[in-house]
Amino acid sequence: MSKLSYQFATRVAALQVNPLREQAKNSQTVDHYIKLTYGYPSNEAFPVDKLAKLSDKIYREHAFDFMQYGESEGIPKLRSQIKARLHKYQALNISDNDLLITSGSTQGMDLVFKLFVNEGDTVLTEEQTFVGAVNAIKSYGGYAQGLPFDDAGCIDTEVLRATLAADTSHQIKLLYLIPTFQNPMGTSMTLEKRQAVYDICKQYQVMIYEDDPYGDLLYTDKTAIPKIKSLDDVGIVIYAGSFSKILAPGSRLGYLLAPTAVFDQLILVKQVADSFSNLYWQYLASQLFEDYDFNKHIEHLRQLYRLKLETMINALRAKCQKNMSFSVPEGGYFVSIKLNDDIDGDAFYDEITQRQVGVIPGNIMSAAGKGYEKYFRLNFTLPTLVEIENGISRIGAAAEAAKK
Amino acid sequence: MSKLSYQFATRVAALQVNPLREQAKNSQTVDHYIKLTYGYPSNEAFPVDKLAKLSDKIYREHAFDFMQYGESEGIPKLRSQIKARLHKYQALNISDNDLLITSGSTQGMDLVFKLFVNEGDTVLTEEQTFVGAVNAIKSYGGYAQGLPFDDAGCIDTEVLRATLAADTSHQIKLLYLIPTFQNPMGTSMTLEKRQAVYDICKQYQVMIYEDDPYGDLLYTDKTAIPKIKSLDDVGIVIYAGSFSKILAPGSRLGYLLAPTAVFDQLILVKQVADSFSNLYWQYLASQLFEDYDFNKHIEHLRQLYRLKLETMINALRAKCQKNMSFSVPEGGYFVSIKLNDDIDGDAFYDEITQRQVGVIPGNIMSAAGKGYEKYFRLNFTLPTLVEIENGISRIGAAAEAAKK
């Protein structure tokens, strides 16, 4: 077979093979490999028995509905149920907005960046942020510009203001944020900070993408901080939710609550992307909301993950404290760690690879892709308690071995 | 709420609200509305009882697998099963290619156009073609250039050659084709024509996207015509299959068989699009291949749809022949109709709207979006036999009333 040199679109050249894919494949073949790597929910978190019963029900009542073609917006009942929950529990304005079901929150980002980003445009992000968002921005020829964190681990509002003020040619189209239990930092923006960020974006007429996959997973007794979307009185915030972290990633269900005029355009982009999201899980999730108390399910997740987080924090304090620093998140999926200055970053990664424990290096979870050699991210939701303790022990030993 | 003027990406401006969406919503509220409109399978075509049983099985054996995150390529077993079928029944070369599971064939187009089309590039299509493909091309700033049909209703190879020869700046990146039971024409390219198209594209190093959602649905005793992909000895053909027309559109499962180097890049684009396709239907389809004879299911569909096609053709001959012309397709989902010169196109659409029967106007299913006022497309798979007969009667009466 003679070889052609394929001529791919230039925007694709910005995408890089995810190094984690190889790591994931290799780790499957290694015994005792401990994954503190990905943002996976625990298998214990899936309400399998309930879903199996509901599945029987929707096969009896909706088989022809979920096997046929469906509406691009999503099924009306599920959309109403989600809107009602967002209104009731998050105080979100749903009257000037509409809700689109997406094929996971990954697709939510893809649709919004496709809608707003011309080649050469900029999307602002937190300096350390979700790699999937950065890739999605690049895939439309956009530039992901990371904003530095302040001491509280949230974006510096004065830098945000100065950056927008300097953008006289209006190439900045969006601010992508994970304000609650940030990925990878685990931090949350205070209400005052949210209001400040919102006011600045409103002044400069820049859209905010509020990515909130972890928002329900609060592990303290504090009151949840209001969403940025709850402050939105002019329609500049797109709020993105997901079922991946609180029901099942395999559902491939997320949603966007967007100002109506934006929603109308998102529908066009959604039609081109995959026409509509899989209907089986839409009916299943809708029936779950109807037949069960979803808040009880969330409370179950909170108890499950609170224990895992405490176990990780205790292990970190016992085994790692002298060689690295971290702050304790109040919710979400991740703990972010910074190695002390006297630990060699490259040597540390070699050591943890040898000790068969997986983490996410800081550079991968950053807008710039470099400069975060001393940071790494730990997930505590997937591993068992024993795996958490053993994994942190190995990390502590790796740091000790990587001392300069 | 004060209104912002949203600044969407320029490429999105090329997309238009699908007029069929409104029509679909309106038709739901009208009694006795007959839909010969969309390419929907019949509800009778869904193997609901078998799928319900298989669903129980995968809940018992794979619940934790299909609820978790999955691989972007798709689950290995289903990919192997599809590749084995393509090799065995379609004589496709699978050794220098790899197979990606997509979220419906809609996503297959979206990923490939994203991979190959820079803003300003051209994709060649058939002059009358699938509106979804044209929209997907435009959504990346591409231009969909329709190639005229020859007398057999297939693209004119001399025009193809001249068009590629004239493209000295290499802005033509792909040729998008539906060679088998074309949408909307219903026609199939002969093997000689396929070979000629392939040879020309090979000479000019232009990729071919062979869209084949209907290929299995042959209603005559003739032997199936080999796929263009079966001729591919240098790796310029991407073959796209779908479960929408032969299993269930709600599955949102399609696939791309692509040269390995293209596959490697498609994975990157897939990760950004939706990470992975819903796993429930992947396990379900895989189990269906394992536990049942899928060829028998296809044979059942052929019998079901052959009868519907015959009913439509007989009704057309009885009620419409004097005011319009059509050719009898050998398979697929559609019959394409051309009104005689003495029928007023606008008046005809007014008449059929009054008579509550839905068809797809030719302009919608064309690259140029105009010039096909005399054409319309009929679907025969969704309606019942009675609906087909009544629908064609109404169309015959509408044509009679729209005579100049």
**pLDDT per position as a tens digit, B16-46:** 666 556 555 556 556 689 999 999 999 999 9
Tell me the β-bridge partners of A256.
A100, A240
Cα separation of B150 and B189, whole Å? 11
Residue B50: both structure tokens together: 């078998």
pLDDT at site B14: 75
Closest approach of chain A CAs to the CA of B66, in angstroms?
A: 6
pLDDT at site B94: 84
Residues B355-376 have pLDDT tens digits of 999 999 999 999 999 999 999 9
- CB atoms inside a 10 Å sphere around CB B222: 10
Subunit contact B1:A110, Cβ cutoff 8 A? no
Q: Which of B73, B170, B165 is nearest to B116 (CA)?
A: B170
Task: Find the closest chain B residue to A46 by CA distance.
Answer: B67
Which residues on chain A are in Cβ contact (under 8 Å) with B139?
A: 114, 269, 272
Residue in B2, B250, B279 nearest the CB of A66: B250
Task: Find the closest chain B residue to A67 by CA distance.
Answer: B250
Instruction: Please say whether the beta carbons of A12 and B114 come within 8 A.
Output: yes
Closest approach of chain A CAs to the CA of B122, in angstroms?
A: 12
CA–CA distances in Å: residue B72 to residues A109, B164, B250: 17, 34, 19
Q: Is A235 on the interface with B (CB under 8 A)?
A: yes
Long-range contacts of B351-356 (CB under 8 A, 24+ apart): B351/B397, B351/B398, B351/B399, B351/B401, B351/B402, B352/B394, B352/B395, B352/B398, B354/B398, B355/B394, B355/B395, B355/B397, B355/B398, B356/B27, B356/B30, B356/B32, B356/B33, B356/B34, B356/B394
Tell me the β-bridge partners of A255.
A101, A241
Closest approach of chain A CAs to the CA of B57, in angstroms?
A: 11
pLDDT at site A227: 98
Whether residue A249 is preceded by a cis peptide bond, meaning omega within 30 degrees of 0, is no
pLDDT lower than 70: segments of chain A: 1-3, 16-31
Closest approach of chain B CAs to the CA of A325, in angstroms?
A: 30
pLDDT at site A1: 45
Residues B181-194 have pLDDT tens digits of 999 999 999 999 99
Instruction: Please say whether the beta carbons of A387 and A394 come within 8 A.
Output: no
- If 0-12 CB within 10 Å is exposed, 13-18 middle and 19+ buried, where does residue A377 land? buried
**Strand B97-102 and strand B324-326: pairing?**
unpaired
Instruction: Please say whether the beta carbons of A65 and A279 come within 8 A.
Output: yes
Instruction: Please say whether the beta carbons of A188 and A126 come within 8 A.
Output: no
Q: Is B119 on the interface with A (CB under 8 A)?
A: yes
Subunit contact B249:A52, Cβ cutoff 8 A? no
DSSP letters for A188-227: ---HHHHHHHHHHHHHHT-EEEEE-SSTT-B-SSSPPPPP
Task: State the sign of the Cα–Cα–Cα–Cα dihedral B382, B387, B393, B399.
Answer: negative
Which residues on chain A are in Cβ contact (under 8 Å) with B52?
A: 56, 59, 63
Task: Find the closest chain A residue to B245 by CA distance.
Answer: A68
* Residue with the two structure tokens 């429930």: B280
Residue B39: both structure tokens together: 């390419």
Angle at A20 between CA A16 and CA A24, to 5 degrees: 140
Q: Phi first, then psi: give them for residue B74, nearest 5 degrees.
A: 110, 170
Helix (H, G, I), strand (E, B), or coil: what is residue A249?
helix
Q: Is B52 on the interface with A (CB under 8 A)?
A: yes
Query: Residue B215: which residues within 8 A CB-CB, separation 6 or more?
Result: B90, B180, B181, B224, B227, B241
Residues B110-141 have pLDDT tens digits of 999 999 999 999 999 999 999 999 999 999 99
pLDDT at site B43: 95
The radius of gyration computed from the CA coordinates of chain B, to the nearest angstrom, equals 21
Q: Is B8 on the interface with A (CB under 8 A)?
A: yes
pLDDT at residue B404 is higher than 60: yes
- If 0-12 CB within 10 Å is exposed, 13-18 middle and 19+ buried, where does residue A161 land? middle
Which residues on chain A are in Cβ contact (under 8 Å) with B21?
A: 72
pLDDT at site A364: 92
- For a pLDDT cut of 70, what percent of chain B falls above it? 95
Subunit contact B139:A66, Cβ cutoff 8 A? no
Task: Find the closest chain B residue to A38 by CA distance.
Answer: B69
Which residues on chain B are in Cβ contact (under 8 Å) with A278?
A: 103, 250-252, 278, 280-281
Task: Find the closest chain B residue to A62 by CA distance.
Answer: B48
ipTM: 0.95
DSSP letters for A313-340: HHHHHHHTTTTEEE---SBSSEEEEEE-
Subunit contact A273:B107, Cβ cutoff 8 A? yes
Residue in A9, A55, A274 nearest the CB of B55: A55
pLDDT at site B18: 63
Q: Is B343 on the interface with A (CB under 8 A)?
A: no
Q: Is A76 on the interface with B (CB under 8 A)?
A: no
pLDDT at residue B210 is higher than 50: yes
Cα separation of B378 and B389, whole Å? 12
The rounded mean pLDDT for chain B is 94
| Contact map slice: B 357-396 vs A, CB within 8 A | none
Which residues on chain A are in Cβ contact (under 8 Å) with B279?
A: 250
pLDDT at site A21: 60
CATH numbers and ranges of domains, chain A: 10-46+296-401 (3.90.1150.10), 66-292 (3.40.640.10)
Q: Give B239-300 as a 3 state SS string.
A: EEEECCCCCCHHHCCEEEEEEHHHHHHHHHHHHHHHCCCCHHHHHHHHHHHHHCCHHHHHHH
Torsion over CA of B16, B21, B23 and B24, rounded to 10 degrees? 160
The pLDDT of B151-159, averaged and rounded, is 92
Cα separation of A391 and A371, whole Å? 25
Task: State the sign of the Cα–Cα–Cα–Cα dihedral B323, B326, B328, B331.
Answer: negative
Subunit contact B67:A46, Cβ cutoff 8 A? yes
Which residues on chain A are in Cβ contact (under 8 Å) with B48?
A: 59, 63-64, 67
Subunit contact B114:A7, Cβ cutoff 8 A? no
Amino acid B293 reads D
pLDDT at site B1: 44
Subunit contact B118:A10, Cβ cutoff 8 A? yes
Strands (DSSP E) contained in A138-202 are 143-147, 172-177
pLDDT at site A25: 60
Subunit contact A59:B63, Cβ cutoff 8 A? no
What is the band of B7 on the pLDDT scale with cuts at 50, 70, 90? confident
Which residues on chain A are in Cβ contact (under 8 Å) with B51?
A: 59, 63, 67
Which helix (H) or strand (E) segment holds residue A102: the answer is strand A97-102
* Residue with the two structure tokens 């839409």: A282
pLDDT at site B167: 97
